Chain A
Amino acid sequence: MASVLERIRENKTSYLYILPALAALVFLVLYPFAFNIYISFTNMNQYHIRDYRFVGLQNYAFVFTDPDFILVFRNTFVWTVVNVVPHVAIGLALALVLNSKVRGKSIYRIFLIVPWAMPSFITLLIWRGMFNYQYGVINAFLGQLGIKSINWLGDPGWAFIGMVIANIWLGYSFMMIMFSGALQSIPNELYEAAAIDGAIGWREIRYITVPMLKPTIVIAALLGCIWTFNNFNAGYLVTGGGPGISTSIFITRAYNLAFSLFNFALSATYAFVAFLFLFAIGVAWTRYTGVMRQAV
C-alpha cells in the first residue's frame, strides 16, 4: 500500500494535468447523466419545475404503453437501418470504383467529398429549403418530369422519406473516405497472386477485396448506427420531427418534450431508453473491436 501512496505522491502533477478535463467531464457529463436518470423517476414538468417528487416507474410504465412512444421507437429503428445500409453500400461502391482504373479520380473525389466537408447544420437546412412545397427546386424538377408536386414537409410519409434522403446524402461521403483508406492498405501482392490463379474483375472483388474489407465494413456500419441513431441535426433540422410527431426519433422527441412541452420527466425517460439501446450497440461494438483492451 505504501508504494501506491508513494507513487500517488510522486505523480502529484499528473493528477493536476488531468484534473480540469476530468472535473469537466464529471460535473458536466457524468453528473448530468445520473441526474437525467433521476429525473426520469420524478414528475418534473412545467407545473412541477421546483417541487417535483419521486414517482417510481410511472414514466416508464406510461411510455411502454404509449402509442406515441411506439411510433417513435419504430421510427428510430427504421431510420437507423434505411440510412446506414445505403451509406455503407453507396460508400463502398464509390470507393471500389475510385480504387479501380478510371480517369479523373481526383476531380470526382473533390465533388464526392462535399456532403461530408460541408457543415451538416447548413446543408440540412438547405435540404429543408429544397423540399419547400411551393418554391422548392425538387418539386420544380419533378414538375419537369410531369410528376405532381409532393408535399414533402407537410405529409408524414413524405416528410420521413425526405428526411431520409437528406441524411443518406449526408453520410455516404464519410463511408467512401473510410473504405478508400482501407482499400489502399490491401497489399498489391494479393491481387497479383490472384491474377496468376485466374481471378480477375468481379471475382477479385468477391474473394479478396470484400473479405479484406470486412473488419472496416463492420466497424463503419456499427459507428454509422450509433451516429445515425443519435443524429440530432439530421432528425431535427429538415422536418423538426413533424408534422406532429410523425417523423420524430428518440433524440428529437426527447428534445421537443423538454424544450417545447417542458415535460422534463418524460423527456428524460425517452433519453434514458435511447441510451440503453445505444449502450447495447456500444457493447457489441466494444466486444468486436476490443477497443477497451487496446485503450487501457
Chain B
Amino acid sequence: MISQPNSSAKVLSVVKSVLKHLFLIVMSIVSIYPVLWVVSTAFTPGETLATGWTLLLGFVPVPTSPTLEHLSFVFGWKDFGLWLTNSALVTSSTVVATVAITLPAGYALSRRNFPGRSQAMFSFLLPQMFPGVVTIIPQFLIFATLGLVNNYLGVIIPYTVSSLSLSVFIMKSAFDSVPKDLDEAAIIDGASEFKAFRRILVPLTLPHVATVALWAFMGSWLDYALAHVMLSDNNLWTLPLALYSLIQPNYTLFGTFAALSVIMAVPVFIVFMIFQKYLVSGLTAGAVKG
C-alpha cells in the first residue's frame, strides 16, 4: 500500500462496507420475497387471504395461526394424483427422447468429418433464433391434422424438439473437450466404436448429459404455453395447467395455489441448486461459443 490509512480513510471504508451490506441485504430480501410470500400463504388458513395473516416488521407476511390444510388437501386431491401422473409421464418421455436423440447427433458432429457437416451445424443453430410462438401456431395446425391434439405425443414431440438445438451444441462441445486420442486408442485396442462411446465419452461428459436432461426436464415440467394449446381435456392436464387454473383474475384459490406452487417448485429448486454450475456453463457453451 502506498498511503498510510488515516482516520478519515478508516471512516470511509466503514461507510463503504455498511453501504455494501445494506445493498446486499435489501437485494437478498427482494430476491427471496416472493418465496416467503408463497410459503406463508401455503400455511395461511382459508382460500381468500382476507384474514389470517399479518406483516411482521412491516413487510414479512406470516400466518397468524399456521395450518397444514392446503398441503394435506393437495396431497389428498384425486385430480392432483392424475395431473402429477400426466406430468411425470410427459416429462420422463421428453427427457429420454431428448438424450437418445442428442447424444448420437453431438457425437457425429464432434468426431466425424462428413460432407455436409457444417450445413448440418448451421441448421441446428438456426432454430435458436425463432421465437417459440412462430412455431406454436403451425405446430398446432399440423398436430391437429394428424389427430394428435389431446394426445401426449402432441406435447412430448414439441418439447423434445424445443431443447434439441441447444442440447446438440452442448453435447458437441462436451465431446470436443475430450481428447480424441482417448477413444481412438480404445478402438485400436479392439473396442467397438459404440463401446468406446459408452465407456469413455459418456462417462467423461456426464455433467453435460445431466445438463441436457435437466433442460428437457425443466422445459416439459414447467411449460404452460404449448400444453394449454394441445391439452384442453382436463383429464390430460399437466401440473402447470392446473396451477394456472387456480389463479384466475376473478377467482383465485390462494391457499391451494400456494401449496401446489411449493410442491411443484421444491424438486426443481433442489435439482437446480445442485446443478447450477453445469447449467450456466452449458448455457454459455450453447449461446456464446456455439
Contacts and interface: CB of A to CB of B under 8 A. Distances in A.
Interface string A114-129: 1101111111011111
Interface in B124-168: 124-127, 129-142, 157-158, 160-161, 164-165, 168
A247 interface: no
A81 interface: no
A223 B35 contact: no
Given A32-B135, A119-B218, A100 B130 contact: no
A21 B164 contact: yes
Interface string A5-23: 0011001011111101110
- With most chain A CB atoms within 10 A of its CB, the pick from B17, B24, B124, B290 is B24
A193 interface: no
Given A111-B28, A141-B59, A24 B160 contact: yes
B123 interface: yes
Given A97-B24, A291-B288, A20 B104 contact: yes
B276 interface: yes
Contacts of A22: 105, 120, 123-124
Contact of B247 (A20, A120, A123, A125): A125
A112 B28 contact: yes
B239 to A, nearest CB: 10
Interface in A31-87: 31-33, 35-36, 39
Interface residues of B, number: 99
A229 B134 CA distance: 13
Contacts, number: 274
B43 interface: no
Contact of B123 (A25, A35, A115, A118): A25
- With most chain A CB atoms within 10 A of its CB, the pick from B141, B160, B257 is B141
Contacts of A118: 34-35, 265, 268-269
- With most chain A CB atoms within 10 A of its CB, the pick from B23, B27, B268 is B27
B130 A128 contact: no
Interface string B15-38: 001001101100111111011011
Contact of B105 (A18, A123, A259, A274): A18
B135 A21 contact: no
A232 B121 contact: no
Interface in A277-296: 278-279, 282, 289, 291-292, 294-296
Contacts of B161: 24-25, 28-29
B11 interface: no
Helix, strand, loop or mixed for chain B's interface? helix
Nearest to B41: A129
A274 B134 contact: yes
A144 B58 CA distance: 7
B115 A4 contact: yes
Nearest to A295: B290
Nearest to A196: B2
B225 interface: yes
A94 B268 CA distance: 25
Interface residues of A, number: 99
Interface stretch (A183-191, A204-212, A250-258): A250-258
B185 interface: no
Interface string A231-254: 011001100100000000011001
Contacts of A251: 131-133
Interface string B94-113: 00000011101101110010
Contacts of B125: 291-292, 295
Contacts of B261: 122, 125-126
Contact of A36 (B38, B50, B122, B134): B134
B1 to A, nearest CB: 8
17 contacts: A13-B108, A16-B104, A21-B124, A24-B164, A32-B137, A32-B142, A102-B17, A117-B269, A117-B273, A122-B243, A127-B34, A129-B254, A137-B61, A144-B55, A169-B34, A229-B131, A255-B136
Interface of B: 1-2, 17, 20-21, 23-24, 27-32, 34-35, 37-38, 41, 48-50, 55, 58-59, 61, 100-102, 104-105, 107-109, 112, 114-115, 117-118, 120-127, 129-142, 157-158, 160-161, 164-165, 168-169, 218, 221-225, 228-229, 240, 243-244, 247, 249, 252, 254, 257-258, 261, 264-265, 268-269, 272-273, 276, 280, 284, 287-290
Given A32-B142, A229-B131, A259-B228, 7 more contacts: A18-B109, A18-B120, A36-B138, A39-B138, A122-B243, A125-B247, A134-B50
